[in-house]
Amino acid sequence: MFDGFQRASHLRDGVQVQYLHARSGKQAVLFLHGFPQTHAMWAKIAPQFTGDYDVICPDLRGYGASDKPRDVAHYSFTEMARDHITLMQSLGYDRYHVVGHDRGARVAHRLALLVPDAVASVTLMDIVPTHLLLETLSKEVAQAYYHWFFLAQPEPVPENMIAADPIAYFNSCLMGWGQAGDAGFDPQQLAAYRAAWQDRDTIRGMCNDYRAALAYDFEDDAADLGRRLNMPACIMWGRDGIMGQRFDVPATWADRFANITPVDLPGGHFFPDHVPDMVAQNLRDFLRA
């Protein structure tokens, strides 16, 4: 799926992050996937940028082929962001673009807060700020995004329930938020997601990601309220998804970024899977601008 990419790993504080890398000798773009996926979600998008950019596609810790540490504290967006900050430093990039979807977008936002001078631009796909979502939670969003609170329950309750039929559970996430059935997903990409879901440690890692959101990320974001970043920010969202229906998505970021390019796209939460060429074209236009 990623012709011309090399597979490698990066070790930070005992946690190994697996990634794919395609070099062109030019400015770099870091692509960060979300829940419940892996780097495979970028298979139709990232290769369109090789030749014009160096492209890096990791698996977040807890996901895919990357390590799955046990401690919930290891899954804060701060820890995940530091994985990729040190990864990009190790590859020799002092400045780069960051693109994230879902959990990867939350990591991208935290990365931009930690090292704003290193981030040439940031693209956040189909999220509103973590602190805002939790602080102003409505019953409609809570019902649609119930998984935030189910997955955050103490181990091993959600792990045991999901492990009984992981394909059925994670399929319900993909199809429920995506506003599309299996036909909306590339078979190879879907097979890669499903292979990852079979691993009990991956299930635990994804649960710990959501446990950390309540235990650490809300407070981390509260401490940064009022910080407004100056790098160009592209805010993309699916106009038929929960975020698009319940929020003015770019407006939720207006006090966090001074320079926003809003892009609404057809479909639900998983529009990168469903309309990858449209996503790539809008992203390319943003990066060139």
Active site annotation includes 221: no
Which residue in the block uniquely carries the two structure tokens 């309220």? 225
pLDDT at 180: 54
In this structure, are residues 21 and 55 in contact, taking their beta carbons and an 8 Å threshold?
yes
Active site annotation includes 97: no
Domain span at residue 85?
6-288
pLDDT at 183: 65
Determine, yes or no, domain membership for 1: no
Convert the pLDDT of each residue in 145-184 to its tens digit.
999 999 999 999 999 999 999 999 999 999 876 555 566 8
Determine, yes or no, domain membership for 104: yes
Main-chain phi, psi angles of 59, to 5 degrees: -90, 130
The residue from 10, 101, 269, 274 that is catalytic is 269
Q: Is the pTM of this model over 0.95?
A: yes
Both structure tokens of 107: 């990591």
> Is there a cis peptide before residue 276, judged by omega within 30 degrees of 0?
no
Determine, yes or no, domain membership for 21: yes
pLDDT at 184: 82
The one-letter code for the residue type at 157 is: V
3-class SS of residue 130? helix
CATH number of the domain to which 143 belongs: 3.40.50.1820
In this structure, are residues 242 and 269 in contact, taking their beta carbons and an 8 Å threshold?
yes
pLDDT at 182: 61
Q: In the predicted model, what is the mean pLDDT of residues 212-239?
A: 97
| Count of structural domains within the chain | 1
Q: In the predicted model, what is the mean pLDDT of residues 83-88?
A: 98
Determine, yes or no, domain membership for 218: yes
Q: In the predicted model, what is the mean pLDDT of residues 193-217?
A: 98
For the chain, the average pLDDT equals 96
Angle at 24 between CA 23 and CA 25, to 5 degrees: 100
Q: How confident is the model at residue 97 (pLDDT cuts 50, 70, 90)?
A: very high
**What does the alpha-carbon distance between residue 3 and residue 285 come to, in Å, rounded to a whole number?**
23
Angle at 123 between CA 268 and CA 288, to 5 degrees: 115
The residue from 102, 126, 217, 221 that is catalytic is 102
Convert the pLDDT of each residue in 240-279 to its tens digit.
999 999 999 999 999 999 999 999 999 999 999 999 999 9
pLDDT at 255: 97
In this structure, are residues 15 and 61 in contact, taking their beta carbons and an 8 Å threshold?
yes
How far is the CA of 220 from the CAs of 165, 182, 253, in angstroms?
A: 34, 37, 17
Determine, yes or no, domain membership for 264: yes
Q: How confident is the model at residue 25 (pLDDT cuts 50, 70, 90)?
A: confident
pLDDT at 175: 87
Task: Tell me, rounded to whole angstroms, the distance of Cα 114 from its chain centroid.
Answer: 17
